[in-house]
Structure 1
């Protein structure tokens, strides 16, 4: 191969790289500007939601905190008391915290019609508070985070913005990637005593690099929530097929409900899963469906939940589904929320995700400032 041919080949490769860089840079800029405002809202609300579990008992202590006593009321009594507040609605769920100083929460209604809630003192049965679930502070923040308070339209917008952010993470790494070691050192540290323009660029590029992996996980888990095809792809990559858990059927049992049914179910659940953790009873909306119980494993390093299904007439165990018995795909799907929120390893990862979300909110701002400050390059004068 002649020297001229080698030079032409190298020139073509450089031209191709240049075109790719320009294309990626163009998409990174304009897609970032397009989704920037949504990203700021989603990131800031994500910061608030990161510590929802810790903030709720502090902000709403009157309804959340109770004085522990020797014995609490049976679960069946708590269900009956809760039902007196919403006699025309079906009970949907009851949460029994593991902490003896926390109140019990019951919700009524359906997803379509909306939910009502009531907090009870598990020792006295006293009603501590009640109202509409969608008016609670953290529920409003969650709806803003996921749907921009705009229902299906908002969900579509946040889903698209999440996909854009996912692309921005990958394209940002491509644009950040240094050509040599000298440039690498510059792109790993924010330059001290630099101009505002340089500092702003470093905050965007260098800071973006350090949060890239976690932001990748946040957006990926967000996409699994937003799009069924992404969730199905995750199952195919892990299990080789779409292997979501089968629906558990309720065996036919004649007669009325046994007395103490829910207390029996709670006792059986605690026997099966002896670890400490909040317990949630999900009540069936039809007679032919079982009672579904989930229990958090507060003693595990990873934030996981075990499940069990019981007959809604006699409380007999139908099926148990411990987290460890699930397929890899189903385990990852169960961990989707803990990974997304940072609760997977407790408060250390929550704090980490909080910092990442807070920094992410700044990326559209620093990116916009880079765009506004870039100016037009002056053409060099041609010497005659």
Structure 2
């Protein structure tokens, strides 16, 4: 009785939310390797030729960019200990809205101050992300995706419940299917067995995906984890007490950071302007767990001392997890294996939609034949 009810729920959700999940899954698969693809097709922007001369100082880089863009307000500077890496300088955007707050990033050759080519593919991946999160339908699409995400949790658990008999009788066999089967038997075993493999990925993606869907869910996660929810910072150029840019101080801060950090880093970021003599850096170790495993360092350019140093690896697990919601969602928290696994699971959403519809049609056709005979 219960199995029949759950089967009907599974079928109804699959035939409704399944098509939304198809879009979310395929776009998620495309986004899985966005960073790697972007860097691959934009090598001229991310990497530079190393000449037989030293890098320009921070002050020189900022001054040369300011000469080229006299009206620009510099928001931040990103740099790396890697001699082949370009420097990224973000300037404030014009007007209002998200794009203005996000600003525009210029990729700069740290040896010549040349502005490198703009990043290709940004518009494409922005479109895919909008499809993934909102179906390109704004707030309405966001809610549709959220409901479909909840449906995926129900689909995953109901599918396990329906298939549980075979899992209990022969666990390892339940993870396989045979091409010797034909028709509905083949579709059913393939649908179920692959579902067993991707079940953990779907539950992880769903439970983390809702983080961006509902504020109450977001707040509840922080409460359960016992972690204080971070407050969004207002744009730095709007902060009270901010001073005019002082490139000499910026250079001193960056030089002191490199002296105090005493290790290689793949990326370091400092935002401008900052108040007083204390400067705050966010940086990522070369061997970091993932791209959100950032550390923070505050230093005083007057005393040449570290004021505060917080490393991701020193934080308790609950704080690490709350800082890693996106890497958990994409599978990157578990390294390249997790990333590939989430990519495949996302892509297989196409398989589940197609096989689910085919199973429904075959079942419907069989029922019609039985009704005609009767």
Report the TM-score when normalising by structure 2.
Answer: 0.80
CA distance in 1, matches of 2:310, 2:342: 29
CA distance in 2, matches of 1:177, 1:51: 34
Match of 1:243 in 2: 228
Structure showing greater Rg: 1
State the 1:67 CA deviation: 0.6
Residues 66, 49 of structure 1: alpha-carbon distance in 2 compared, 3 angstrom cutoff: same
CA contact (8 A) 1:38 1:161 kept: yes
CA distance in 2, matches of 1:230, 1:312: 41
SS at 1:94's partner residue? strand
- Taking the TM superposition and a 5 Å limit, the aligned residue runs for 1:242-321 are 242-245=227-230, 258-271=246-259, 273-284=261-272, 292-301=280-289, 304-309=293-298, 319-321=308-310
Deviations 1:215-269 (A, max 9, x none): 2112211112322222322223222xx5235789999989865543333333444
Residues 311, 329 of structure 1: alpha-carbon distance in 2 compared, 3 angstrom cutoff: same
State the 1:184 CA deviation: 4.7
CA contact (8 A) 1:248 1:309 kept: no
CA distance in 1, matches of 2:333, 2:16: 32
Residues 272, 311 of structure 1: alpha-carbon distance in 2 compared, 3 angstrom cutoff: closer
State the 1:23 CA deviation: 3.0
State the 1:126 CA deviation: 0.8
Residues 56, 26 of structure 1: alpha-carbon distance in 2 compared, 3 angstrom cutoff: same
Match of 2:58 in 1: 75
Report the TM-score when normalising by structure 1.
Answer: 0.78
1:322 pairs with one of 290, 302, 311: 311
Deviations 1:22-58 (A, max 9, x none): 3322222222222223222222222222222322232
Residues 321, 154 of structure 1: alpha-carbon distance in 2 compared, 3 angstrom cutoff: farther
- Taking the TM superposition and a 5 Å limit, the aligned residue runs for 1:1-384 are 18=1, 20-69=2-51, 70-83=53-66, 87-109=70-92, 112-114=98-100, 115-130=103-118, 136-178=123-165, 181-182=168-169, 184=171, 187-239=174-226, 242-245=227-230, 258-271=246-259, 273-284=261-272, 292-301=280-289, 304-309=293-298, 319-375=308-364, 376-377=366-367, 378=370
Deviations 1:248-291 (A, max 9, x none): 99999898655433333334444554443332425257869986
CA distance in 2, matches of 1:63, 1:225: 31
Deviates more, 1:70-79 or 1:353-362: 70-79
Q: Which runs of 5+ in 1 are unaligned?
A: 1-17
CA distance in 2, matches of 1:289, 1:362: 57
Deviations 1:285-324 (A, max 9, x none): 7869986532112224555211234679999865433214
SS at 1:178's partner residue? helix
Aligned residue-pair number: 361
CA contact (8 A) 1:105 1:118 kept: yes
CA distance in 1, matches of 2:25, 2:66: 38
